[in-house]
Amino acid sequence: MIEGKVYFEDELVQVKVIRKNNKNIYFRFDQDNNLIVTVPIRINIKKVFALIEENKKSLERMWERSKKKQDNEDEVRLLGLKYDLVINDSYKEVTFDEGIIYTSSKSVLDKYINNFTKKVFIEEINKILAIMPNIPEFTLKIRKMKSRWGVCNYVKKTVTLNSELIKYEREIIDYVIVHEFSHFTHHNHSSAFWNYVGNFYPEYKKARKELREE
């Protein structure tokens, strides 16, 4: 691997050149925003840096997008609020202060969020149970799902909530709980089902829009 440096908007960016047995040249930015250039084995290194200069405007746009992506990864969203994330092994516990979360590691924060998610979901479930009748005893499951916010298996009496819901306000979480509880009474999405949901969550259309449900 050959390394060099180049300036993007007056900021010095490290360049790493990787030689492979291919015909084309590929540009990308890694997680540290270093420019990675994959090139054919026999290409001259001066040619590589000449190509960087020729494509500098496009590469600067790629670099900006890469930086924004990294910034977003350092952001945590909980109950509708966004927090910047600061990781340092000197922090003994997860701490919130003026829009910032301080933690010793990502794994420690993940464990905290998992416990927090379960606590919030149980709190909201108990709130909904107080107003909805005829909900049988059920098993709560929490997991990350790609395409569904919740699942009610009325036969096995399980309710599964998407862990990603913790990013939304409690009112949105309540909608998903009401939705899944309603399936104990109506097993499909008929008009009777939506009328039933509306009895306990009149603003369900607004919540669906927030969650981008179709």
**Tokens read off for 199:** 């009895």
Same domain, 80 and 67: no
What does the radius of gyration of the chain's CA atoms come to, in whole angstroms? 25
Q: What is the pLDDT of residue 98?
A: 81
Residue 117: CATH number of its domain: 3.30.2010.10
Same domain, 93 and 116: no
Same domain, 193 and 122: yes
User: pLDDT tens digits for 156-183?
Assistant: 999 999 999 999 999 999 999 999 999 9
Q: How far is CA 186 from CA 53, 88, 161, in A?
A: 63, 49, 18
Same domain, 89 and 162: no
Give CB contacts under 8 A, 24+ apart, made by 201-209: 201/174, 201/175, 203/171, 203/175, 204/175, 204/178, 204/179, 207/171, 207/172, 207/175, 207/176, 208/175
Mean pLDDT of 61-66: 83
Same domain, 140 and 197: yes
Does 73 have pLDDT greater than 60?
Answer: no
Same domain, 87 and 21: no
* CA–CA–CA angle 160, 131, 185 (5° rounding): 55
Does 72 have pLDDT greater than 70?
Answer: no
Q: What average pLDDT does the chain have?
A: 90
C-alpha to C-alpha distance for 122 and 109, rounded to whole angstroms: 20
Same domain, 125 and 178: yes
pLDDT-derived band of residue 214, with 50, 70 and 90 as boundaries? Answer: very low
pLDDT-derived band of residue 140, with 50, 70 and 90 as boundaries? Answer: very high
Q: What is the pLDDT of residue 2?
A: 63
Same domain, 122 and 190: yes
Containing domain of residue 88, as a range?
75-104
Q: What is the pLDDT of residue 74?
A: 67
Same domain, 117 and 167: yes
Q: Are 158 and 179 in contact (CB under 8 A)?
A: no
Q: What is the pLDDT of residue 163?
A: 97
Same domain, 126 and 199: yes
- Of 71, 96, 121, which closes a domain? 71
pTM of the entire predicted model: 0.67
Backbone angles phi and psi of 199, in degrees to 5 = -65, -35
Same domain, 91 and 141: no
Same domain, 57 and 117: no
C-alpha to C-alpha distance for 181 and 48, rounded to whole angstroms: 60
Q: Are 36 and 29 in contact (CB under 8 A)?
A: yes
User: pLDDT tens digits for 184-211?
Assistant: 999 999 999 999 999 999 999 999 999 9
- Of 54, 71, 88, which closes a domain? 71
- Of 46, 71, 96, which closes a domain? 71
Least confident of 57-61, 150-154, 195-199: 57-61
Report how many domains make up the chain. 3
